[in-house]
A and B are shown apart, each in its own frame.
Chain A
């Protein structure tokens, strides 16, 4: 590269807010200076999982100290609807029917938050209880659904299966997962003139918050402005789930004419907001003696909760990822989107992909166990080919397949073969403590499967002093989107990052955005921001060419300077002159992801621009007397394309893996028979802590990575895929306990693999005693 051009991308630059994070100066919604006259809002929720509400007596709530007003469904001027997909199947406040324990029924606003919380407990509610459907039933096809069932089929599985040399069936359950973002749901609504409403919120989807606030208040979208500076974590849990609290705050602000803040307590947050979908997966697989899959049938029963929310595309993505990295010639997937009296499940990092992938990885482990082979050899036998066996069940050709290269590399660096032998030896002499090792790959499709969502926009201003204001539709939730996009703009203008002001996402600046989700935040907003920067750069180039009388091709930007033929001047100097020359120094940029198309009726097309790949080797240890376990070592190799920022990407890989490990091990959502979630705080719901990190944790970004598609600087997405590498943890646990058991069957270890689940498994399948 030209020495006069500085590299702002492909560098391990620190998060833009790092110094503010560590010194407590980074502001989240609840840290904003509170406006004068601020009121605090709180919600009252259903204590029944399914009931007619015969009477909602709120007089004690109204009379409570500090209370200013109370709001019920009847007070909502607009649509009383939070469905993100226009299904009209979930209210802001339930009116006559409570459908899950924790569903908001009313809101109260008071002078202090404590007063509002106290008052909210004083409601007298007369319920007439109805039958409760809590879980996926054994016959999911015939239980109540929030959406129609879907089928994805390729080839002739019904004829191929009976003809296969070997056949296995199985069934297992995959639990959900609470996002447990450290910053709970919060919104502040500030009323303006003419009924305008400004919302400060912690949302991945400001435009949707804007539209839903408008719809529920009976306003136009342009009456509502939504701003998000940063979130204290989101992971999909603030894609649709943030809107309800913003709407309630706005409704209260509308009624009282005063600013209103609503911040949920942790327990209410966990009781009243959606989680990752639980799945029941059944499989019927035929395979040859090498373990190569001939045909497979999957049933996906998906626990959606009370409403559709994003369950449709989530269950779809589970189907799209039922192949993971393997070629499946003949298959059928039946997907049942079950309705239950539990909070409506929602987006969570991976968006159905993890469940679909765990399904096929379990099938592979079961085949290997049946054949007495190392599961790795079965995995290798089934991987997508480069030239043949390279079309996904939905008809997309896998053109960028690097998984074999990644696995080959990782096998060497993780010393897999030697360690596997070592573990076999250890297990031979160790009846109580068992070890297991597993390698699992991940292939994850990048793009929203809903094609129209793949659009992004940005707004860039250059001020007269050469400083730059950067804005785009993406939101910052800790993933480092803002710094990556700033790096991209710095690269374009060839100015230092200090010149670039990262600004809050604001619907008044960039409209009609899609959620920051699907790992596509940088891919899309980076492209949009570059497009905006290039427009301004083009104008500056033309201006400089005219001013110095050189061809435009001789105007170059490098290292905070602009060279025009013989002339060199500072970036700021050129900008100042351009302004005097009446050149526009502001531009918008727009990006739509190319090449993608997909027919939701036939499940055929190219829903993804490309695939992200990675592989992990995990070694675990299990105590067969108690089911307790530890992750001893993890080795990961991840293809981030040409990484825009190795430090940020490494953080996503490490963090995603551990979050996935939590989902599969300690994070258990537990409802009692009445339908009350009893794991609704960190005291009962256990996300990984420091000690759960592997003793040895070796994560590498693949140095040969380069996106085959023309993505921003040939980088690849990194937000979600690493989570699915944690499937290696579950597989390794299965390996560890399988050897302990009599019989040939792989134990059907459910997820999460809590100590209890493991000990159950040992007991059901053999005798773990000495």
Chain B
């Protein structure tokens, strides 16, 4: 066990003893180090002004990812590299190419969001450096950085200027040294830091996690902290101890057994998109709209389930696909259908000392048609008003089996049993869909809130079923918005 967190910043190893378990990276930068280049715009991970880049060892290199420092706990940096806007330009080399491009293209006006954009662009700079950036990818990668002045046009131009094929910078030129530094600070055992009754643990094995949780039953489990971070910054909650799941090797595993996918609870959305989309292509466009890049880089599918939100975007699709959940504790394991995990608002079938270990997503069955949709006020980086998922087995023009699940329609992600019963056994045609749309009204009594009214929720839920049907037909006209860049949207 070690007690000091160590990470690389500005080429040096930073060592911190008795780290406050809920101190954020942003607080550390601005308040302790006086590094005020990184800004606080919202303190909830939704504006990107605080974006920093975290480097970590990955296969035989370093992976750089943009994260929101305002809700990232400092102690999660143990064994990693922290790069901030202050680190990019040097007196010798001048501005970094992404910074220079932002200047050349007039990408800043008030300048407050600019450091965040620069860091997102910097992360993009180090991603697939052999190829030029595509316009659609710029939208995806920058969705988590809000700018109120420019309307984004010059920032997109800056991205296009800087992100050319074969690009390099000081960091990529000195990768060996960075690797050496990072390797030297890799934790070989678990971390316990903090003081008094406020401790931060990073266990490294499932066993250690079970033991730590048993010893500290009131501790809060944290993976990406994209939700828990807000308890601290918004609700001002004084959390006792934190157990960070990002160091537990087993929880970070993705296993494909050919019949399905096992996803450890601490696998980030970013890492889960590819393997999940391999089995269920429809998940890609949904997952690319969960939070934004900074959130997906740390937020996890397991966390999205464990926090029991009625508007989480993954559960409807996972439930429709028949996913199973494994819970683990010192006492052993429990495996259940994911839908049984959600009991009522804020209550999940999770006992003390128990945690979500992994999720098993079975491959689609033969003849299964699957789709999952998200409806929100803004297309990118918004929380769902309604999230829908449909998994229908259709054989010989008949619906053999229907699994229909919604988020945002009830206090938990919930299957639409009337709708399912209405579909099952019927002919796969417009009439059956219309009957099922009517039946759906018996399944839910959604709420009115700031995201949508009850009426809209029901209406759009019904219409999504209509869309699902139309999408399976070989129509000559589009049934979803086409790409703003002119090509048709390509997803399931």
Contact = CB atoms under 8 A, between A and B. Distances in A.
A626 B150 contact: no
Contacts of A682: 41-42, 44, 46-47, 146
Interface stretch (B336-344, B346-354, B403-411, B481-489): B481-489
B430 interface: yes
A686 B452 CA distance: 13
B472 to A, nearest CB: 14
A14 B106 contact: yes
Contact of A689 (B38, B381, B385, B484): B381
B377 A755 contact: yes
A490 to B, nearest CB: 19
Contact of B95 (A23, A184, A478): A23
Given A432-B477, A651-B109, A754-B377, A626 B464 contact: yes
Given A623-B481, A626-B467, A666-B378, A693 B153 contact: yes
Contacts of A678: 449-450
B378 A629 contact: no
A625 B481 contact: no
A681 B41 CA distance: 10
B28 interface: no
Interface stretch (B59-67, B112-120, B181-189): B112-120
A630 B482 CA distance: 9
A24 to B, nearest CB: 2
Contacts of B460: 625-627, 755, 759
Contacts of A12: 106
A479 to B, nearest CB: 7
Residue of B34, B49, B106, B478 contacting most chain A CB atoms (<10 Å): B106
B37 interface: yes
B484 A756 contact: no
A79 B131 CA distance: 63
A234 B109 CA distance: 11
A683 B111 contact: no
B380 interface: yes
Contacts of A452: none
Nearest to B452: A756
Nearest to B382: A686
Given A30-B36, A626-B375, A692-B379, A22 B108 contact: yes
Contacts of A623: 480-481
Given A478-B111, A692-B380, A770-B430, A626 B463 contact: yes
B76 interface: no
B484 A480 contact: no
B180 to A, nearest CB: 27
B151 A693 contact: yes
A727 interface: no
A724 to B, nearest CB: 14
A760 B139 CA distance: 29
A111 interface: no
B306 interface: no
Given A433-B479, A478-B111, A22 B103 contact: yes
Nearest to A632: B484
Nearest to B457: A756
A626 B41 CA distance: 31
A710 B154 CA distance: 31
Given A626-B375, A693-B156, A756-B452, A430 B477 contact: yes
A23 B379 contact: no
A655 B109 contact: yes
A686 B140 CA distance: 16
Given A22-B102, A23-B37, A668-B377, A182 B109 contact: no
Contacts of B146: 180, 182, 682, 687, 689
Nearest to B448: A672
Contacts of B36: 24, 27, 30-31
A35 interface: no
A461 B78 CA distance: 53
Contacts of B69: none
A478 B478 contact: no
Interface string A615-654: 0000001010111111110000000000000011011001
Nearest to B484: A695
A232 interface: yes
Given A626-B375, A690-B138, A18 B106 contact: yes
A679 B376 CA distance: 14
B148 A21 contact: no
A657 B376 CA distance: 22
Contacts of B154: 651, 654
Contact of A265 (B43, B156, B452): B43
B111 A230 contact: yes
A182 B113 contact: yes
A697 B450 contact: no
B463 A625 contact: yes
Contacts of A22: 85, 95, 99-100, 102-103, 107-108, 114-115, 118
A659 interface: yes
B453 interface: yes
Nearest to B102: A22
A413 interface: no
A681 B43 CA distance: 9
Contacts of A577: none
B1 interface: no
A628 B111 contact: no
B477 A654 contact: no
Contacts of B107: 22
Contacts of B483: 695
A25 interface: yes
A267 B375 CA distance: 24
Given A23-B86, A756-B452, A690 B143 contact: yes
Interface string A7-39: 000001011011111111111101101000000
A138 B385 CA distance: 29
Interface string A734-764: 0000000000000000000011100110010
Interface string A227-242: 0001111110000000
Given A21-B114, A23-B88, A690 B39 contact: no
B145 interface: yes
Contacts of A265: 43, 234
Contacts of B387: none
A16 to B, nearest CB: 11
Contacts of A181: 110, 112, 148
Contacts of B456: 627, 755-756, 759-760
Contacts of B150: 651, 654-655, 658
A2 interface: no
Contacts of B118: 22, 24
B484 A630 contact: yes
A694 interface: yes
B241 to A, nearest CB: 19
A759 B466 CA distance: 14
Contacts of A469: none
A24 B151 contact: no
Contacts of B380: 689-692
Given A24-B37, A121-B236, A693-B153, A233 B112 contact: yes
Nearest to A693: B152
Interface string A669-708: 0101000001101111011111111110101000000000
A682 B378 CA distance: 11
A630 B41 CA distance: 26
A466 B104 CA distance: 29
The 10 A-B residue pairs whose C-beta atoms are closest, nearest first, are A24-B37, A478-B110, A232-B112, A658-B151, A21-B111, A695-B484, A478-B109, A31-B36, A682-B46, A24-B85
20 contacts: A21-B102, A22-B99, A22-B102, A22-B115, A24-B37, A24-B115, A117-B236, A182-B39, A183-B112, A232-B111, A233-B149, A625-B479, A632-B484, A647-B106, A684-B383, A686-B378, A688-B152, A689-B292, A695-B486, A759-B463
Given A22-B99, A433-B480, A770-B466, 8 more contacts: A232-B112, A625-B463, A647-B106, A650-B106, A678-B450, A679-B450, A691-B379, A759-B463
